[in-house]
Structure 1
C-alpha cells in the first residue's frame, strides 16, 4: 500500500509540473559546474562571495580539521560543550554586534531552535507570510497566537500589532528574502519595534557575508535575534544564532533542536574563527557582487521581464509551474544552470526562475543568461 501511494504521489507531481529531480553536479569550476560532461554557468548557487571555490580558504579549512577534533561526540548538554567552541562563539557574537552566539548543524535547525525554544502560548507571533519554511513549519507547535502579515507589508504589520495589543509580541521576518530577493526595510522595521516594543527575530542567512559592513548583515539595529548560515556566503557548513545576553542559557534548557543534537565539532569552531579574519578582506568581492547583480536586474528589465529583487537574489516571474520547469531545463542547452522555484516554495501559479548571483559571475555571464531565458521564454 505504501509503495503504491508513493507511486501515485510521484505521478501527480509529474503531471502538475511540480516533480523535483535534483541534478548531479560532477565538479565545480569557479562560476561553472560540470553536469553530465557539460559545463554550465551556475546561477543557482548561494556561494555569494565565491569562498567555497577559493583555494586558500579550502586550505585553511583543511588545516582546521587536521588540527582539531572532527566530531562533537555528543550533545552540548552531555559532554559536547567545548571551551574552545564557547570562546569562538563569543568572538562571533562580538563581530556581529550581539551578546551571545550558538553554532548548530544547519539553518533549518537554527530557525526551528529559535521558534521552538523562544515561543510559547505566552507570546503572539507576527510573521511575514514569505518567511522561510524552516520558520513557518515550526509555528504551529509553539502554541502561540499566530498572525501573519502580507509579504514585506510593514504598514499591515503596524495595523495588526495595534489591533492585537499583545503583551508579548514577537515578529519573525528575513533581511533578504530567499525567494523574492527583496530587502527588509530596516528603518521602518526599527521604528515599528520602538513603537510596539516587539521582540524581533530576523533570518539573515542570505545577507550575512554579502551585505553590510564587513559582511555583518543589515538588521543589527532593528532586531533582537538574528539567524545565519555558514553554507552560503561563508563557504562552509552549519549555522548560528546571534542573541541577547542570557538567551543562550535559555536555549540550552528549552530548545529541543539544541538539547537533542550532537554538538558541532571543535574543527568547525576553528574554521569559524578563521572566517572572522577572512570576512573583512572580501570587500572587493562584495562590491563586484553588488555591481554584477545590478547589471543583471537592469538587463532583465530592458528585456521586458517582470522581476523582483534588491540585491544578489533576483526572482523572474513566469507563473505556470510546468513552463518554469521547462524553461530551466531548456536553458541548460545554452550552458546555463538556473532554478525553477515552484509550489509549495512559492504560491501556486506564481512560479519563478530564481537567480543567485555570486562574485564569480561576469557581465558576459549575465549576457548569456539574459539571452538564454529570453529565447526560451518566447518558445515555451
Structure 2
C-alpha cells in the first residue's frame, strides 16, 4: 500500500535525524519547571518579562467575555471583534507608520506580505520588481517569497558590498531589500546608516522584519531608533510573541494602497478565521505597557543586563581562550541574544542537560537552523534577570 511505503520513508528520515542528534523534541516547559526545579530561564523570547503580567491576562479575559472565545469568521467576511481595529490603530501610532494589519502569527504575516506583493492574475499587471534577501532571514520570509514567485536574489549575511554587486546587476524598476532588524541566531543588527546609503544610491526600498527587536531599543522599535530609514520602508513585519509577550504579527506600512492590496490578495488574511478576542485584548494591553514609561524602564534594565553579561564574557574570554561566541566584535554587541558556540550537536546537548540539572534552562540551536558545525547555546537575556542570575549562568556554562 502507498501509506506503508510512505511510512517507511518517514521512519528512515526520522531515524537519520536521531542518529545525527538533529531530531527535535518539544520541551514541556511548565512540567519541566515543576519536575526539574528550573530556577533560571535563559531560553524564552519574553524579553521584557511581561507574559505573566496580570493586567495583560485580565484584559484578554474581559475581551473574551465580551466578544466570545473565538470570532467564528474570517475578518473579510464578518468582523466580530470591535477591539481589532483599535489594536491595529494603536500599534501603527506606536511605531510611527500609518496602517497596520494583524495576523495570527509573524510567520503568517510574512507569507501574507509576499503574497500581496506578487502579481495579480490580471493580464495587464506585469510588475518589474526584484527582492534582495539576506541569506539568514527567517524561514517564513523564504517561504513567503518563494511562494510569491517574485524574482529574488540572495545576498551574503549583512555583506552590503555583496548586496551592492547584486543591485548593480538588476534592471528591475522596483528593487526591494528584505532584511531583519535583529537576527535571532547570531544576535546581530544590520548597519542602518550603511543601508540608508545603499537605498539612496540604488533607489531601493526596504522590507524589515522587526520580530526580535519590536518593543526593544530605547525608542521601542528599530525603525523609531533609525527614523531616517522611514522614507525607504515599504513595510515592517512585527511578531507579537517575543517582547510583546502574547501572539500574532503585524504588517505595517505608510502606503494605503498596499494595505488595500493585502486585504484584497493576501490568502492568510482572507481565508483564516480572525484572531481570538482574548489575544486581541491581551495584546492591546501589552502594547500600552510596552510603549509607556514603564516599558522604558524595562528596556533600560534589559540594556543594563546586556552590558553586564557582555563585560563578564569579555573577562572570561581573556582568561579562557577556548570560550567561543559567534560575535564578530563583542565590545560593540548590542542585543540580548548571545550565541555560545559548541560546534558539535552532542556537545551542546550534553551542556543543556548539565545546566538543567543545575536548574538552569538554556536551549540549544542546531542545524538546519544554523550552519553545520556551529551548534550553540542561545542565551537570551530578559529585563527581569538579575546580575546574580547572570553570574550563576556563566559559572555553570564555563
Q: TM-score, normalised by structure 2?
A: 0.86
> Root-mean-square deviation (CA), in Å?
2.1
Alignment counterpart, residue 159 of structure 1, candidates 161, 165, 171 = 165
- Please give the alpha-carbon distance, in whole angstroms, between the structure 2 residues aligned to 1:206 and 1:369: 22
In the TM superposition, residue 277 of structure 1 has moved relative to its aligned partner by 2.4
Greater shift in the superposed pair: 247-256 or 66-75: 66-75
Question: Which residue is equivalent to 1:298?
Answer: 311
In the TM superposition, residue 220 of structure 1 has moved relative to its aligned partner by 4.9
In the TM superposition, residue 248 of structure 1 has moved relative to its aligned partner by 1.4
Residue 342 and residue 17 in structure 1: after superposition, are their counterparts in 2 closer, same or farther (change >3 A)? same
In the TM superposition, residue 65 of structure 1 has moved relative to its aligned partner by 2.6
Residue 25 and residue 88 in structure 1: after superposition, are their counterparts in 2 closer, same or farther (change >3 A)? closer
Residue 338 and residue 326 in structure 1: after superposition, are their counterparts in 2 closer, same or farther (change >3 A)? same
Alignment counterpart, residue 6 of structure 1, candidates 3, 10, 23 = 10
User: Is 1:351 the counterpart of 2:375 in the alignment?
Assistant: yes
Deviations 1:247-279 (A, max 9, x none): 111001121111111112444443343333212
Greater shift in the superposed pair: 54-63 or 194-203: 54-63
Q: TM-score, normalised by structure 1?
A: 0.90
In the TM superposition, residue 306 of structure 1 has moved relative to its aligned partner by 2.8
Q: Structure 1: any 5+ residue segments left out of the alignment?
A: 28-32, 375-380
Preserved contact between residue 343 and residue 375 of structure 2 (Cα < 8 Å): yes
Residue 351 and residue 266 in structure 1: after superposition, are their counterparts in 2 closer, same or farther (change >3 A)? same
Preserved contact between residue 40 and residue 332 of structure 1 (Cα < 8 Å): no
Question: Which residue is equivalent to 1:173?
Answer: 179
Question: Which residue is equivalent to 1:18?
Answer: 22
Deviations 1:294-347 (A, max 9, x none): 222222232223322531111112222222222222221222111111111011
Alignment of 1:129-278 (within 5 A): 129-215=135-221, 218=225, 220-222=227-229, 223-246=233-256, 247-278=258-289
In the TM superposition, residue 205 of structure 1 has moved relative to its aligned partner by 0.6
Preserved contact between residue 97 and residue 220 of structure 1 (Cα < 8 Å): no
